[in-house]
Amino acid sequence: MDAPVEEAAPFMSTLDLFLLSALLGFGVYWFFFRKDDTPSDDEFKKLSVVQSTLIRSESFDLGFLARMKKSGRNIAILYGSQTGTAEEFANRLAKDAQRYGMKALVLDPEECNVEDLPQLTEIQNSFLIFCMATYGEGDPTDNAQDFHDWLKQGDTMLTGIRYAVFGLGNKTYEHYNSMGKFVDKRVEELGGERLYELGLGDDDTNIEEDFVTWKEGLWPAVCQRFGIEASADDGSFRAYTFTQYEDGELDKKTIYTGEVARLHSYDNQRPPYDAKNPFLAPVQTNKELHKGGGRSCMHIEFDITGSRIKYEAGDHVAVYPTNDVAMVEELGERLKTNLDTLFTMNNVDEDSSKRHPFPCPTTFRTALLHYLDIASPPRTNVLSEFIEYTSDEKDKQFLKLLSSATPEGKKLYQEWVMDSRRTLMAVLKELPSCYPAMDHICELLPRLQARYYSIASSPRAHPNSIHICAVVVKYKTNAGYDNFGVTTNWLSGKIPATGTAIPRAPIYVRKSQFRLPFKVSHPVVMIGPGTGLAPFIGFIQDRAYHREQGKDVGKTILYFGCRKRSEDFIYEDMLGQWKSEEVLTELNLAFSRDAEKKTYVQHLIAENKDSLWEVIEKHGHIYVCGDARHMARDVHDAIVTIVEEKGDKSHQQAIDFVKGLMNKGRYSADVWS
């Protein structure tokens, strides 16, 4: 019998098949799905740079309370800032504390856990200082919104917390310093102990004097409360170290050239776009709106195609400007500084959340062009620091008086600096022996801020562009200097032309509460003389769109005013067309210099009292945009008078009625001083 034939062994076992399947699956993943995480040489460089610029003390990663305990601080200073002034004041207070032998930690409430505030009592002789700006119609600033809401809820008691508040506001607005007043009152209600009286700064007059006067009383009160000797060290304390680099010492890819925050953000744009990541928008249109008179008003259109930026009629667009090149060059020559010097500045306080005063490393030229406010009158603390750089005794004494808190010093500062609108360069011209170090100037000057403009378009008519109109600011000061608005003069040069590079501007959209009624059938009255017309162009475009869609659109009434019809009647043709097409129900025009007797929009409102009262009775909305100091107040008074007469009310009842319209969102103002 033949031996049985042995069955051939299988080519692959079950285990082999399993392993092969796994390997094939991994291979497919590796080649087709896996994102390559291997950093390139450039990425290794970027990582090393980031790592080197974020070195902190060991306590930095702890909460603010632990950081205060570890570094021996007894003062926490919280700021709510929209334009940078409140933050600047907070840092000045921290420097003052150092002069009195105390240590403070400056905090952005958006970046710290405010629920830890009650535990501040664990630190001996501790207290809180609030520098709180009011924004818009009595609102908190963006970075203080959550803190405001937390404080308002009142779930956490602040028993035993010692505090002081300085508010920043503007008296031309109805809700003057409401945020500062709210914080001062609310902290007391929650058990806090007010260490010093509420300070109220008025930006319509001289907020610098208000602040200096307040803090001159604050520190003696603090010293008395804690038994500290009430004498300050007048020495200069530098907040930042300065490091200069030689040519070629740094990789050019690590140097900031004007970006707001993220390195190379203008070369590598990516949404979402906001205050720290603006969109570099092409300027597709820049044309003159005035027909004469010697002044200029620009209509500018920013192209937002592909940016994913969304906006609504009534929103604001922020524009980051660049300082005047000639002024920067002149400053460099005056201080005998090589503007191409490459440097970095690091905070000496390792526990501070603010590592640099502005993006670093960079050059003096970039800092002066993009990061520093060199066109505003310098504050008293800046002038005080200049004393040590001044050789002539007469100039020294002048600076000492100019920066002092005495009545004579305040009067001189008001007249010589504020009323004359002297810039940093103007001050240096008149003090020939003063040569401050450029790096110290970089530390002292506030950041150059974005400027906000009412958007003069509707996304329903212009989904891929944002329009603004702005008067180019140019004037001669009473000291004989020619001053120029930073942003408007910079924008005036951004005119697109065939064969040249497309001009661009960094922008982002800031949402507003200035909104048309939800029901398009509700009537609206819009009052906007001059460039106050801007948001109403967008409003009317919105109403025109709904009308084209066959909707029942309520009355659309506009009041516009300017000096002369033949010179500064902006958007005349557009408004005329809307009136002829009955998009505008009424077009009321006031030309203040075309007749012997000056006529303003408030006079026309008074004449048309029946029309305005009808709008109010039919659940209509009233909108005012423009000058807060005079026009908005006069319009308000005219409306109160109409309510008093047509509604058969007493004067106080009429005032309360109008206030009720405001509270209901039926009387809205977008004004500036």
Catalytic positions, please?
A: 454, 625, 670, 672
> Given CA atoms 557, 561, 565, 571 in this order, what sign does their dihedral have?
negative
Q: What is the DSSP letter of 335?
A: T
The residue to which tokens 């796994």 are assigned: 22
Cβ of 226: how many Cβ atoms within 10 Å? 16
Tell me which DSSP letter residue 370 carries.
I
Could you tell me if 286 and 494 are in contact, meaning their C-beta atoms sit under 8 angstroms apart? Answer: yes
Q: How far is CA 180 from CA 87, 136, 415, in A?
A: 14, 14, 28
Q: Is 13 exposed, middle or buried (0-12, 13-18, 19+ CB in 10 A)?
A: exposed
Query: 183 forms bridges with which residues in the sheet?
Result: none
Alpha carbons 380 and 121: distance in angstroms, whole number: 34
Half-sphere exposure of 142 (CA within 13 A, CB side): 8
CB 275 within 8 A of CB 508: yes
Contact 223, 232 (CB under 8 A): no
User: CA 355, CA 203: separation in Å to the nearest integer?
Assistant: 29
Query: What is the Cα–Cα distance from 534 to 314, expressed in whole angstroms?
Result: 9
User: Residue written as tokens 């840092």?
Assistant: 91
Note the Cα 484 to chain centre separation in Å.
Answer: 20
Element spanning 168, H or E: strand 162-169
Among the listed residues 525, 597, 598, the one whose alpha carbon sits nearest the alpha carbon of residue 561: 598
Reference 560, options 535, 588, 538; nearest CA is 588
Cβ contact 430:514 at 8 Å = no
Q: Is the separation of the CB atoms in 257 and 361 below 8 Å? A: no
196 Cβ neighbours under 8 A, 6+ residues apart: 164, 217, 218, 221, 222
Whether 15 contacts 316, CB under 8 Å:
no
Which segments of 532-624 does DSSP mark as H helices, in order? 534-548, 565-568, 572-580, 601-607, 609-617
Helix (H, G, I), strand (E, B) or coil at 667: strand
Instruction: Tell me the three-class secondary structure of 370-382, residue by residue.
Output: HHECCCCCCCHHH
Q: Using the Cα atoms of residue 470, residue 476, residue 477 and residue 483 in order, give the sign of their dihedral.
A: positive
Residue 38 Rama label (left phi>0; alpha psi -120 to 50; beta): beta
Instruction: Summarize the chain as % helix, strand, coil (round to 5).
Output: 40, 20, 40
Residue 12 burial (CB < 10 Å; 0-12/13-18/19+)?
Answer: exposed
Cβ atoms of residues 110 and 143 within 8 Å: yes
Name which of 352, 319, 670 is nearest 507 in CA terms: 319
Tell me, what DSSP letter sits at residue 122?
A: G
Using alpha carbons, list the distances in angstroms from residue 52 to 251, 259, 420. 14, 19, 45
Angle CA 330–362–245, to nearest 5: 100
